Structure 1
């Protein structure tokens, strides 16, 4: 498989080398935080629903040192073209953009929350694929937030502290980077547990860890990066969020996820019948996707992998038809994976490109990857990249 994760020593070395090259000094600390892949529960986070992601072994590494002034200097990787210098006062909504907003945005959010920060020097290195729907932006935000919180002398250890940091990273992404995302990505990067999926209830941000040892069951979660990049700030994502908010208001609830509390399926369908057109389709996806999260959790606990695969298939169809966030590259990957022996497959992430996932018998992993590649070539699409996703740990200090 391609797109291998870096071992921590390799990531530390890369981030430290970038720091030394940029600032002619050694960093004081290095932190790492992962990307994520979502098993099921897409576009439910900002609707107050359930999601079931896992943290990837692929991480962003942040090498950092404090300064005695208010200057902030950033370097992304080893590329001399990705540098920025300013002050803490420059980091605010409308003050920075592009990659700087993701790297520096957490500093603004922490200061808004009352954390005293000095200036800092920061260098990043990452093996999380960008634009692949695997939360490369959240990995950056969370690694930086952890590093800055540590430099400020505040705790990063307990779950309450991690939940607070996740909320601040969401605020940074929404207000500084201008991407109207929910909180699933940051929660996963900061609160996941190795060997487990993270059952996240976005109504109250509570979490539960669901054991997921696919290898012991003779299975793998194959991630297919279509190499069609997407941006969450391009308007498509925001329009769907606005439609859901409008639909919720029409139904007299704060978020569409509130409808999940209706006791009966008939009651939920009666509520949906009050909507029509696009609003009805978007709301139907949200409610059925929340139900699929519960289905996959139950399947994981019962080790009923066929049932899990069936729910994954249904999720993709709902995202394709009702939420309309799939694309030809994702559909081709999903269909080819199923035909080659996957128990289930679906797009993952915000959509409009990015990645698909397939639940695959271990002995068929290469076969499924080959079939997906062949299908892409036959359709004249970009050749995809692959890796096997293993439920991994959340962000931590690595040096």
Structure 2
């Protein structure tokens, strides 16, 4: 969806959020706030290694309808996954371990605000989204960032996007138990339409990089494998521990301190899994730098081979791919995609393909047919466009 189509989809979500709020709480919300999902063009598993990444906010959105209360009660509801779930508890009782499941993400943000000196006097909150859940498009970060944008306005915290990203990460790490880095929240809060975002997690800086997809006749296809993943699971945490162990054995604060020239010496000092993790992080940082150079100098059509090499590294060195992701990538590349790679934390979720707009339908059909022939669930393949970051809708 782009342009009017994306705006129409967001308007539908906004109307659903307003109506859902009124149905559950019997009044109108104080406002509506929205935050996008994201895809990561390149730079995977680099954020918690103080590295580089190039994500973009996409035109899939979570909308939060919210109103403050004064009685110390926090109520959250949602129609996520077509459910009518609701949770109610005292604001003072919100803490790690007090709640689990989907509600840990929005309530984690409430808890993080309180821990930062802005306690919530009470809150009614209703969430609507069209970000696919479990697809590697940062549905959890979209929820967190929509709630954070609402609370910043309602409480007048003045935190700004960088601080809000850290609060949302804190909510995800400590309330939801997912040891993720800052990539998803940074993209959801700081996205800019028409651009990717070059994020340096060592310096804490981010700058927009023009993508110029439309001018180049290109499209980004998301290939949702329907293999759901959960960052709170052991695989993601295990990879992070591997990186921390590699850095400690090499005597560096993070793997960002290593260059390609350091890898030969590192191999003799690391066990095989730790070396592969380190090699992925080092080469992925190099791919991000190269991708930014090519985007600015040559345009998006030039980065395809980098995407394919990034997927191979995630598959072989970081070992976070799966047969469905590999099939999506290989099929897309075999049917005209300029580049393709898994996006997100891995172990399922989605892959991303850079395709000529004229070939998008053919690539999508080929991926669907390949999955059905392999006996896999039917994937959802759809184009995404860049979007602006979180903010108030009404």
TM-score range, shorter chain: over 0.9
Counting only pairs closer than 5 Å after superposition, residues 322-337 of structure 1 correspond to structure 2 as 322-337=317-332
Q: Which residue of 19, 34, 37 maps to 1:35?
A: 37
The equivalent residue for 1:151 is 154
Partner of 2:57: 55
Of residues 269-278 and 69-78 in structure 1, the stretch that sits farther from structure 2 once superposed is 269-278
Q: How far apart in 2 are the matches of 1:302 and 1:220?
A: 19
Q: Which residue of 2 aligns with 1:178?
A: 177
The residue that corresponds to 1:359 in the other structure is: 354
Q: What is the alpha-carbon distance in structure 2 between the residues aligned to residue 372 and residue 287 of structure 1?
A: 31
Asked if the contact 2:218–2:301 (Cα under 8 Å) also holds between the matched residues in 1, the reply is no
In the alignment, structure 1 residue 95 sits paired with structure 2 residue 85: no
Partner in structure 2 of residue 218 of structure 1:
217
Which of 124, 130, 142 aligns to 2:145? It is 142
- Structure 2 distance, partners of 1:351, 1:94, is 26
Tell whether the 8 Å contact from 2:66 to 2:123 is kept in structure 1 after alignment.
yes
SS of corresponding position for 2:296? helix
TM-score (normalizing by structure 1): 0.95
Q: What TM-score do the two structures reach when normalised by structure 2?
A: 0.96
Give 1:273 shift. Answer: 3.8
Partner of 2:262: 267
Quote the residue 1:317 is aligned against.
Answer: 312
Maintained 8 Å contact 2:221/2:353: yes
Q: In the alignment, what sits opposite 2:117? A: 114
Q: Return the alpha-carbon distance in structure 2 between the equivalents of residues 126 and 322 of structure 1.
A: 34
* Residue ranges of structure 1 left out of the alignment (5+ in a row): none
Shift of 1:306: 5.0
Partners of 2:273 and 2:230 in 1: CA distance: 22
User: CA separation in 1, counterparts of 2:142 and 2:224?
Assistant: 17
Summarize deviations over 1:49-76 as a string: whole Å, max 9, x none.
0000000111100000000111001101
Closer, same or farther in 2 for the Cα pair 1:216/1:20, shift >3 Å?
same
Partner residue, 1:397: 392
Structure 2: distance between partners of 1:108 and 1:258 = 34
Q: C-alpha deviations, 1:328-367, integer Å up to 9, x for none? A: 1101000000000001110000111100001101100000
Tell me which of 44, 54, 74 is aligned to 1:72: 74
Displacement of 1:80 in angstroms is: 6.0
Retained in 1: the 8 A contact 2:30–2:65? yes
Deviates more, 1:251-260 or 1:188-197: 251-260
Distance across 2 between alignment mates of 1:72 and 1:36: 28
C-alpha distance in 1, partners of 2:151/2:21?
Answer: 16
**CA drift at 1:10:** 1.2
For residue 223 of structure 1, report the CA deviation from its aligned partner.
0.7
**Hey, what does 2:286 align to over in structure 1?**
291
Q: Which residue of 2 aligns with 1:370?
A: 365
- The runs of 4+ residues in structure 1 deviating greater than 3 Å are 78-81, 304-307
- Alpha-carbon distance, 1:272 to partner: 4.2
More moved, 303-312 vs 249-258: 303-312
Once the two structures are superposed, what CA deviation does each residue of 1:67-103 show, in whole Å capped at 9, x if it has no partner?
0111001101285641100011221111111111001
CA–CA distance in structure 2, aligned partners of residues 233 and 191 of structure 1: 24
SS in 2 for 1:217: coil
Helix, strand or coil for the counterpart of 2:233? coil
Q: Which runs of no fewer than 5 residues in structure 2 stay unpaired? A: none
What RMSD over aligned residues (CA atoms) do the two structures have, in Å?
1.5
Q: Contact 2:212–2:300 at 8 Å: present in 1 too? A: no
Correspondence for 2:277: 282
Deviation at 1:327, TM superposition (A): 0.5
Aligned residues: 389
Displacement of 1:258:
2.0
Partner of 2:295: 300
Residue of structure 1 equivalent to 2:86: 83
Indicate if the aligned counterparts of 2:33 and 2:390 stay in contact, CA closer than 8 A: yes
> Aligned to 1:187, what secondary structure does the other structure show?
helix
